[in-house]
Structure 1
């Protein structure tokens, strides 16, 4: 009976994050509440020692455009705070083109993704991913 209990717990323990496992958040929305949730959750994990990458793609690229500051002032402030605390914020170049966002219009410190940069962060050892 004890062996069955221990065997049942083993698979669960391997799914738990280590204390410094990286977190990669895939953010696809420009819904302000959902963006706030993703950035807040990521920021809380960053404070706990988890390196954080936020990948803005699809509609989320609009959040990082300075020209949209009137709509996303709070979210852009949160992005700047995350950057100051060591997070990496990436933007999908294909999505930028689709939605007419230029690199010069990005919030300072936000990086345009590419296969090497994005893949390197997504596929870090022990990285965990979440999507909003």
Structure 2
């Protein structure tokens, strides 16, 4: 009997601690990406892609230097990242681009990759504060 009590107590403690950290199969993922650094940006975009492939709706918010990846002008420098961004959009991911940041870094809205959206507080907040959304930053 004592053995059974210990097992049940252990299971209860484990589930009580681990449960909040586990995402449900369809919880949305919001990735805030501020970097244009090759490795970090590829990790952020690649992680988002792998979670989208697992059924999690994905919003990728490009801000600060991350907006540089959104511009066709930078296609040679960010070819891999732009290819994956285009694939994400084609699969239903939402890629938002910070309007203040594109002005700051002189990125023209007309140069954005197809399917990327210049964001606003309603779009960004709507994605970030959607029920059960998990958020990560790079």
> What is the aligned partner in structure 2 of residue 113 from structure 1?
119
What is the CA deviation profile of residues 4-52 of structure 1, one whole-angstrom value per residue up to 9, with x for unaligned ones?
A: 4244221321221000000000100000111111111110100110000
SS class of match (1:129): strand
Residue 80 in 1 paired to residue 90 in 2?
Answer: no
- Residues in 2 aligned to 1:47 and 1:77: alpha-carbon distance in whole angstroms: 16
Structure of larger gyration radius: 2
> What is the aligned partner in structure 1 of residue 18 from structure 2?
12
What is the CA deviation profile of residues 35-88 of structure 1, one whole-angstrom value per residue up to 9, with x for unaligned ones?
A: 111111110100110000000000000010111111011111110000001100
Q: How does 1:91-106 map onto structure 2 within 5 Å? A: 91-106=97-112
- Residues in 1 aligned to 2:36 and 2:20: alpha-carbon distance in whole angstroms: 34
TM, length-normalised to structure 2: 0.91
- How far does residue 102 in structure 1 lie from its aligned partner after superposition? 1.4
Equivalenced residues, count: 132
- Residues in 1 aligned to 2:64 and 2:47: alpha-carbon distance in whole angstroms: 20
Which runs of 5 or more structure 1 residues have no equivalent in the other structure?
none
> What is the aligned partner in structure 2 of residue 24 from structure 1?
30
Residue 40 in 1 paired to residue 39 in 2?
Answer: no
- Residues in 1 aligned to 2:114 and 2:135: alpha-carbon distance in whole angstroms: 24
